[in-house]
Amino acid sequence: MQRLVVLAIASSLFGAACLESRLDRVLTTPDQIQTLDHRSPYLKVHMKDGGLYLLSKWQVDGTTQQVSGEGDRLGLARETIGSGPFAVALADVALLETNVLQRSPSAAALTVITGASAVMTAVCIANPKMCFGSCPTFYIADGKDAMIQAEGFSSSVAPSLEARDVDALYRVPASGRELIITMKNEALETHVVRRVRLLAALRPDGGRVLATLDGDFREATDLRSVETCHADEGDCVAKVRAFDSDERFSPADGEDLASREMIELQLPAIDGPRGLVIASRQTLASTYLFYQSLAWLGRSASDALAALERADATVGGGFIRLRTAVGGIEVIAQTTSGAWVPAGEVREMGPLATDIVAVPLPADATGRVRLRMARGHWRIDYVASARLGARVEPVAIEPWSVTGTDRFQLSQSPLTSRPLTTLPGDVYTYTFQLPSNAARHELFLESQGYYLEWMREEWLAEENAARALQLVLNPEQLLRDIAPEFKKQEAGMEALFWGSKYARR
Amino acid sequence: MRDVNTRRCVLPLVVLAVAATCLSGCAHNTAPPGWHPPALVALRSTHGGWIRVEGTVLIEGELIAIDQSAFHVLTQSGFQSVPRASVRRITLTGYGNRARTLALWSALGGASALSHGFYSLFTGPTWAVGGIVASLKEKHASIWHDADVAFRFARFPQGLPPGFDPQTLGALPDMAARGQGNRGQ
């Protein structure tokens, strides 16, 4: 890292050296002496006979029609004929030449890049954990731009945690017979992708198909946004009434990262089985916790992951306790008896792509619902109610081609039998053939695999055996202890991360 | 089903691309070393710029003057006047540019992007694109092909003096052509 800082500084020094590298040379006839640029440190006086005066401290006297200064007089071969102060009659002058150094626009542009880059370097030195993404990201073009639509198996940080992840492609218009999905590895990670395929579920008339927490797919009709939404900050209905990337989120608690908050919702009245529809994703708090944990583990991180692979009860237990302490979005519904009963817990992992799911509510639910979650850990884009209908069995669509960025294609065995291992910067394009009536299908992206986070040199500086032990033995206390430090970085972390193109939505 | 295993690391390639592209761009300069002084030095230059005249003949040397009828150039074989009608293209190097420096700057900046972790996926290409564009623009900033601009960098921008005797100039020293000469700066 120190070497990179030196590079950044060296780069800046180049900038300083390069800024004034353009020369603005202007030739003026003696009758236009009033236009001479006096910023020119030298005045070249081209004589009618071909001689030349090179003058510094020059001045032009319009009254006496003379130009004067100190310097050299040169002949046709530009040999020096004399030196000293000179006064030359304008009548003998053919042209007056000024030369002014100017800033190079190219160097100025690089200076801007250098400034931004230096800020990024400084930020990353101060907090390396802010500068990395996670898990495979999936982009789909909407006709103009490729937008991130899903992130795969975010919590599968070890082979033993390999998982299947289903993300709704809710905002992808399925028109035409082909869908192209780009999968990227945009982090310092190794991704092992066992499967990427589409699930296509036939929509009911006027409705959608939504995944539920238990992995089912249900018909959803009469989708209507919430009538009221109240949180600590006040009315939040404007933030959650549409799936429009305008999200409701709150800052983390400064004393306990597991501290809970509550959102009160009133759903519109709907006949029949009702479900709460919620589109959400995590904030960067979970990413921070994960990377900070790796930093504390330091050189023993691989030992901890190996213990996880061996199903070590202590390490595995600590991992589960930490996840439980942070928790998901608990959906709690009021029933006609007045009791509040848990309906489910949304745990869509990852801070990049928003996923939408349905949480079936009790048959006697009144329509009043509470969302309970750790402060500062969740971003909620959309909350609605829907009438949940029959279960739907989606059709699996395997990709008919997968192309790497080098454009080579191999006609080998399907990915389902051979995992694809990707490294940082790898990009793969999956092409799917859609059903003939694609517009009537709800599409989901199913991915399966795991990823291995790369240990960064900067993280090793934060190796802390005591914290690592606390992580395993008492993660609840750990979340309290590190809350103040997290709060110091929280605002900048979000701004930096979402200010990047990665946040394009 | 088709499958590809692509193994590449973006950032080293980005840095290499910046360096290679820009440095190759810098190399395309018709003036020999010593004939493209930095702007700060060219402020005081009393000689003409380096011109390459392409047409029925190809000559290179110091631009002495341009007038309505000809380009006047001091070459290693002496003073030559090339009728404008026979000229297809001129390339005048007025002074040295900093394209090479900008390329190196970009390469160093691109390397520093390695410290940005995930964000290097953005800052790395920014350095690459910015570096390439800036270097190429800088490379062409002090090179002209238009006689109406090039004359400003002639030894005699006013045209050949009355009664001018080309013999007074002699020939361009060979050592100067190789960039070892003293151009009186």
Q: What are the residue ranges of helices labelled H in A340-474?
A: 457-460, 465-473
The whole-number pLDDT of residue A265 equals: 96
The SS3 assignment for A26 reads: strand
In this complex, is the C-beta atom of A109 within 8 Å of any C-beta atom belonging to chain B?
yes
**Measured between CB atoms, does A500 come within 8 Å of chain B?**
yes
| Closest chain A C-alpha to B127 CA, distance in angstroms | 7
Query: How far is it, in rounded angstroms, from Cα A49 to Cα A69?
Result: 20
Contact: A401, B2; criterion CB under 8 Å? yes
Q: Are A124 and B115 inside 8 Å of each other by CB?
A: yes
Q: Which residues in B lie closer than 8 A to residue A46 (C-beta atoms)?
A: 156-158
Query: DSSP assignment of A98-153, as one string?
Result: EEEEEE-HHHHHHHHHHHHHHHHHHHHHH-GGGG---S-EEEEE-SSSEEEEEE--
Number of C-alpha atoms within 13 angstroms, CB side, residue B96? 18
Measuring CA to CA, which residue among A446, A450, A376 is closest to residue A159? A450
Interface of A with B in 56-85 (CB under 8 A): 74, 76-80
Query: How many CA atoms lie less than 13 Å away from A32 in the CB half-sphere?
Result: 12
Strand runs labelled E in A142-251: 146-151, 163-168, 178-184, 189-202, 208-212, 217-225, 228-231, 234-235
Residue B16 makes CB contacts below 8 A (sequence gap 6+) with none
For tokens 């400084």, name the residue: A122
- The pair of structure tokens assigned to A466 is 């005591």
Which of A 131-170 lie inside 8 A of B, CB atoms? 131-133
How far does A57 lie from chain B, in Å, by closest CA? 13
Instruction: Among B43, B111, B133, select the one facing A42 at the smallest CB separation.
Output: B43
One digit per residue, the tens of pLDDT, for chain B of length 185 reads: 322 332 344 455 555 555 555 554 444 567 787 787 888 888 888 999 999 999 888 999 999 999 999 999 999 889 999 999 999 999 999 888 777 777 888 888 877 777 676 677 777 888 888 888 888 888 778 888 998 889 999 999 999 999 888 888 888 876 444 443 334 33
- Quote the minimal CA–CA distance from A315 to chain B in Å: 28
With CA atoms as reference, report the closest residue to B51 among B31, B34, B26.
Answer: B31
Residue B129 has which token pair? 């694109």
Question: What pLDDT, on the 0 to 100 scale, is given for residue B136?
Answer: 83
| Cα separation, A306 vs A311, whole angstroms | 9
Using the beta-carbon criterion (under 8 Å), do B42 and A121 form an inter-chain contact? no
Chain B hits for A71, Cβ within 8 Å:
none
A500/B2 touch (CB, cutoff 8 Å), yes or no: no
A305-334 residues touching B, CB cutoff 8 A: none
State how far the Cα of B118 lies from the Cα of B106, in Å rounded to an integer.
19
Predicted confidence at residue A198, as pLDDT, reads 94
Picking from B2, B97, B184, the nearest residue to A410 by CB comes out as B2
Label residue A327 left, alpha or beta by phi (over 0 means left) and psi (-120 to 50 means alpha): left
User: A72 is written with which tokens?
Assistant: 């050299």
A52 contacts B8? CB cut-off 8 A: no
What residues of chain A lie within 8 A of the CB of B7, using their CB?
423, 426
> To the nearest whole angstrom, how far is the Cα of A457 from the nearest Cα of chain B?
10
Residue A488's nearest CA partner among A231, A130, A132 is A130
What are residue A56's phi and psi, to 5 degrees? -110, 170
- To which residue do tokens 């109240």 refer? A230
Kindly determine whether residue A104 and residue B138, on different chains, have CB atoms separated by under 8 Å: yes
Sign of the four-CA dihedral A281, A283, A287, A290: negative
Are the CB atoms for A191 and A421 separated by under 8 Å?
yes
- Cα-atom radius of gyration of chain B, to the nearest Å? 21
CA A502 to chain centre: 3
- Give chain B's length: 185
Number of neighbours of residue A264 by Cβ within 10 angstroms: 15
The pLDDT value given to residue A383: 96
Query: What is the rounded distance in angstroms from the CA atom of residue A330 to the CA atom of residue A195?
Result: 30
As a whole number of angstroms, the distance between CA A280 and CA A472 comes to 28
- Identify any residues that bridge with A379 across adjacent strands, giving them in sequence order: A281
Find the residue in A nearest to B139 (Cα): A106
Among residues 413-442 of chain A, which lie with CB inside 8 Å of chain B? 413-415, 418, 420-428
Probe site for chain B from A23, A139, A426 (most B CB atoms < 10 A): A23
Measure the CA dihedral A129/A130/A136/A140, to 10°: 180
Q: What is the pLDDT of residue A90?
A: 94
Angle at B99 between CA B45 and CA B174, to 5 degrees: 45
Residues in chain A closer than 8 A to B184 (CB atoms): 74, 78-80
Q: Judge: A410–B3 Cβ closer than 8 Å, yes or no.
A: yes
DSSP letter for B84, please: G
Are A426 and B7 an interchain contact pair (Cβ–Cβ within 8 Å)?
A: yes
Selected for mutation to probe chain B from A25, A48, A415, A418 (highest B CB count within 10 Å) is A25
Distance from CA of B28 to the nearest CA of A (A): 18
Size of interface A-B (CB pairs under 8 A): 234
What DSSP element (H or E) covers A290? Answer: helix A285-297
Helices B99-112 and A2-18 pack at an angle, to 10 degrees, of 150
Please give, rounded to a whole number of angstroms, the shortest distance from the CA of A248 to a CA of chain B.
25
The shortest C-alpha distance from B36 to chain A (Å) reads 12
- pLDDT (tens, 9 = 90+) of chain A, 505 residues, equals 445 455 555 555 555 555 667 888 999 999 988 889 999 999 999 999 999 999 999 999 988 999 999 999 999 989 999 999 999 999 999 999 999 988 888 888 888 888 887 777 776 666 555 555 567 888 887 666 677 788 888 778 888 888 889 999 988 877 778 899 999 887 778 899 999 999 999 999 999 999 999 889 999 999 999 999 999 999 999 999 999 889 999 999 999 999 999 999 999 988 888 999 999 999 888 888 888 888 888 888 888 888 888 888 887 888 788 888 889 999 999 999 999 999 999 987 788 888 999 999 999 999 999 999 999 999 999 999 999 999 999 999 999 888 875 544 444 444 446 788 888 878 888 999 998 888 899 999 999 999 888 877 777 888 888 888 888 888 899 999 989 988 888 877 766 655 433 333 3
Specify the length of chain A in residues: 505
DSSP B168: G
CB A107 within 8 Å of CB A21: yes
A93 shares contact with chain B (CB less than 8 Å): no
The minimum CA-CA distance between B100 and chain A, rounded to whole Å, is: 10
CB contact at 8 A, A433 and A195: no
Residue type, position A76, single letter: L
- How many CB atoms within 10 Å of residue B24? 11
Of A53, A106, A415, A456, which to mutate for an interface test with B (greatest number of B Cβ within 10 Å)?
A106
Residue partners of A444: CB distance under 8 A and separation at least 6 = A166, A167, A168, A169, A198, A199, A200, A201, A211, A217, A394
Q: Is the CB of residue A93 less than 8 Å from the CB of residue A67?
A: yes
Q: Nearest-CA neighbor of A106 among A168, A228, A14? A: A14
User: CB distance from A474 to chain B under 8 Å?
Assistant: no
Helix axes B120-141, B10-26, angle to 10 degrees: 0
- DSSP 3-state of B147: helix
Would you call B110 helix, strand, or coil by DSSP? helix
| Among A341, A351, A425, A422, residue whose Cα is nearest residue A381 | A351
Residue B56 neighbours by CB under 8 Å, 6+ apart:
B86
| Nearest residue in A to B135, CA atom | A106
CA proximity to A208, closest of A174, A241, A179: A174
CA distance B41 to chain A (A): 10
Chain B partners of A412 at a C-beta cutoff of 8 Å? 1-3
What is the nearest CA distance from A452 to chain B, expressed in angstroms? 15
Beta bridge partners of A89: A66
Structure tokens of A213? 């927490």
